[in-house]
Amino acid sequence: MPFLLDDDHRQIVQEAERVLSDGWSPDGLRHLLERVGAHDDRFWTTCRDMGWTGITISEDHGGLGLGPIALCLTAEVVGRFVGGAPFLSTGYGVSEALRRFGSNDQQGRYLAGLANGERTGAIDLTSALDGGERLAWTDGRLSGATGLVAAGAWADLLVTVARDTATGGDVLVLVALDEQAHPEPVQTFDNSRGYAVLHFNSAPAEVLATEHAGDAALELLARVAVIVAFEQLGGAEACMERARNFANERQAFGQPIGKFQAIKHRIAEMYVANELARGNALRAALSLRDDAGDLVLRAGAARLTAIDAYEFAATEAIQTHGAIGITWEHDLHLFFRRSRALALELGGRGPWQDVVARRVIAGVAA
Amino acid sequence: MTSLSPELEAFRDRVVAFMDPHVAEYGQAARLGLSLDDDIALARRWQATKAAAGYAGLTFPTEYGGAGLTQLEQVIFVAEEAARGFPAGYFVISLSMPIPMMLRYATPEQKARFVPPALRGEQIWSQLFSEPSTGSDLAAVRTRAVRDGEDWIISGQKVWTTFAQYSDYGVIVARTDPDAPKHRGLTYFFVDLKAQGVTVRPIRQLHSAAEFNEVFFDDVRVPDAWRLGGVGDGFRLAVETLMIERYTAAADETGFGPPLDALISLAREAQLDGRPALEDGRVRAVIAQAYATQQGLLAISEKSILELAAGREPGPEGSIHKLVGARGRREVALCALDLLGTDGLRFDAAAHPRPKTDFAMSWMDQPTLRIAGGTDEMLLNTVAERILGLPQDYRPDKLPR
């Protein structure tokens, strides 16, 4: 049963808020939007300096060993600022893959670099949702092209699921994105995420798991989805607060526009959607921490409500602001873009609805 | 992160051990097809069984037949009760509003006389606040109470009084000073609904059952000793009553409609485009979204329990529950009726279908849920004003005179 934050958690949140409020604003993101394959290096440096890159990595490997809830809460704060570097969640996907499936040798080679942020990770696991096309894996070598991968333009390591051409089965692999991988940065509506298609032509790739590799990939994706649900929640909260503050300040027809129920009810609806998303996200976080419950199902519920909450808040915050909200100069379009980017990059509503439905239906006896 | 204490988990285990042997007699399946009268009779027996085992009135003081526990145990108990579909609804108003108000404001003799029988299910209480001219505007009450020696004479009309036709007593707000500003001229009493001059007329709802009533007071004599709080203090006490309601709002994440399992079972049988409906993306989307919403509500309930345990006031969980639960229930019911096709039209009011087990009834009852106990619009106002600090609605009735 969930979950009240304790003092340690509150401290993590306060510290993250302090650092980001002092040193960073969404304003810096705007110029990244006009460059393909960009990311906010200054923001990433902050993440490294704060040790956020190693929150969940054990102290043996140079991390903080704080567990996933600390990372979830940090991601929520980052989401409030539309942080411009995807590695926090995608790198977690890679370090988790190593923690769960990596050999001692693999962990020794890669985790310390991920922990201090020298190495960055990306994941390409959405094919686990829908059985989509996979890369081909033959005798330790990877070929083919990924879909759009967040952070793909600069990541050092990629975890993906490929098809073993010998057996026809799935294999979870780790591939170093050195000169053997050819990232093709892709122009998107949220260029700050560094989306790229990665092309492999017989690039060496290490095996992480062959047994039930598809399930393993789905579970990894679900784990990242929980972290991202917090990031989405943070974004949704920020949009709600901006809408609320604007509605209190902006006068029209002789009164603050927040007096009009058409406005105030919309903002109250944002709160309701956010609370649903928060409840699900917290439950899923407990599943992450305890390796308990049906993680994929809980992550799915968290993801569906987080997608809904962020997109509603971002869209309706713009509407609340009126024309100022649709200008390039205003921050709201950064949230608006990000809400859709986060909804798509780990698999959208449709595939996640199907994952959730499949599990819920399986739980009801015929 | 904090979780529920071992003591509370142990309490839950005891509750489960107490309830499970009674499922056959009082659970969801036992109630299928019962007439309303039979269901209420069953509910009275279940209430008496709970009282005998010390589980009625969990938060009430032991000297009046309660268990002297906290809101926490209450929330845990209600959740387990709801999960088994036990008939507790008929006493929810009695035991969560009028009786707690009696415990706060009545004399010890009155408490001793009224509280224990109410706990045993021997009495049902009503709350008589709304009038034809009032709804959410509680202070617009016109029913009069005029002082006559040691008594008050009450005249007027109340409406939307839940289960008044089965009720023995009620709490009422009446205007005792027509010259005072509207929020200040009201007084709070409890009344005998079987007394001379009281007429109860059930109101048939759109689904043809009658949960609500009009109640007419034609010079009904009420002793001054049955006044709760001071003369002119009625509005404050009424608001206090409603706050208890928000606080204890039942946490049923299905919005009191049929569980999701029932939709899944139905979709397993039904066909769409020549395939089992369960394979249809539209149906799967409804199932997934309803599940996600229900789990979110469950998480909010769990969090509010922990807030209570930590000694903090919970937020507006009850409001969110009613708002979101009612919407989710509509989505699920509509999907189910769609799958049934023209068979979805079947509805036999005489068989007393219940919204918890019958999709047509669930759909027909959903508009009620959006209105009763605070409309969606009032709940959104509450969230906007109390939590988010947005400005209050324009309220000319509250301007200084």
Asked if the Cβ–Cβ distance from A353 to B387 is below 8 Å, we say no
CA pair distance A121, A302, nearest whole angstrom? 23
CA pair distance B231, B145, nearest whole angstrom? 10
- Burial per residue of B26-49, b for 16 or more beta-carbon CB atoms within 10 angstroms, e otherwise: bbbebbeebebeebbebbbebbeb
**Tokens 């713009």, located at residue:** A318
A280: nearest CB among B4, B292, B323: B292
Per residue in B114-162, pLDDT tens? 999 999 999 999 999 999 988 778 888 999 999 999 999 999 999 999 9
Q: Is B6 exposed, middle or buried (0-12, 13-18, 19+ CB in 10 A)?
A: exposed
CA pair distance A123, A224, nearest whole angstrom? 9
User: What pLDDT, on a 0 to 100 scale, did the predictor assign at position A1?
Assistant: 45
User: What pLDDT, on a 0 to 100 scale, did the predictor assign at position A366?
Assistant: 75
User: What pLDDT, on a 0 to 100 scale, did the predictor assign at position A151?
Assistant: 94
Asked if the Cβ–Cβ distance from B380 to A366 is below 8 Å, we say no
User: What pLDDT, on a 0 to 100 scale, did the predictor assign at position A102?
Assistant: 96
Low-confidence ranges of chain A (pLDDT < 50): 1
Backbone angles phi, psi at B257, to 5 degrees: -100, 180
Asked if the Cβ–Cβ distance from B389 to A350 is below 8 Å, we say no
Asked if the Cβ–Cβ distance from A354 to B324 is below 8 Å, we say no
Q: How far is B209 from chain A (nearest CA, A)?
A: 32
Q: How many CB atoms lie within 10 A of CB B313?
A: 8
Per residue in B11-31, pLDDT tens? 999 999 999 999 999 998 898
User: What pLDDT, on a 0 to 100 scale, did the predictor assign at position B1?
Assistant: 47
Low-confidence ranges of chain B (pLDDT < 70): 1-4, 244-251, 313-316, 398-401
Specify the pairing of strand A255-256 against strand B212-223. unpaired
Q: How far is A303 from chain B (nearest CA, A)?
A: 9
Q: Which amino acid is at A199?
A: H
The dihedral of CA A78, A82, A84, A87: what is its sign?
positive
Prediction pTM value: 0.92
Q: How far is B375 from chain A (nearest CA, A)?
A: 13
Q: How far is B390 from chain A (nearest CA, A)?
A: 6
DSSP annotation of B270 reads: -
Asked if the Cβ–Cβ distance from A360 to B291 is below 8 Å, we say yes
- Burial per residue of A120-150, b for 16 or more beta-carbon CB atoms within 10 angstroms, e otherwise: bbbbbbbbbbeeeebbebeeebbbbebbbbb
Contact predicate B316/B324, CB 8 Å: no
Contact predicate A171/A142, CB 8 Å: no
Per residue in A289-334, pLDDT tens? 998 889 999 999 999 999 999 999 999 999 999 999 999 999 999 9
**Tokens 């706050």, located at residue:** B243
Q: Which two tokens stand for residue A37?
A: 């394959």
CA pair distance A49, A45, nearest whole angstrom? 6
User: What pLDDT, on a 0 to 100 scale, did the predictor assign at position B243?
Assistant: 74
Contact predicate A352/A344, CB 8 Å: no
Q: How many CB atoms lie within 10 A of CB A99?
A: 16
B299: nearest CB among A2, A350, A356: A2
Asked if the Cβ–Cβ distance from A267 to B387 is below 8 Å, we say no
Could you tell me which residues come within 8 angstroms of residue B100 by beta carbon, excluding any fewer than 6 positions away? B60, B244
Asked if the Cβ–Cβ distance from B306 to A357 is below 8 Å, we say no
A279: nearest CB among B2, B278, B296: B296
Asked if the Cβ–Cβ distance from B383 to A272 is below 8 Å, we say yes
Instruction: Give the CA dihedral B382, B383, B384, B389, nearest 10 degrees.
Output: 90
Q: Is B62 exposed, middle or buried (0-12, 13-18, 19+ CB in 10 A)?
A: exposed
User: What pLDDT, on a 0 to 100 scale, did the predictor assign at position B400?
Assistant: 56
User: What pLDDT, on a 0 to 100 scale, did the predictor assign at position B245?
Assistant: 59
Q: A247: which chain B residues are within 8 Å (Cβ-Cβ)? A: 390
B287: nearest CB among A2, A255, A357: A357
User: What pLDDT, on a 0 to 100 scale, did the predictor assign at position B75?
Assistant: 80
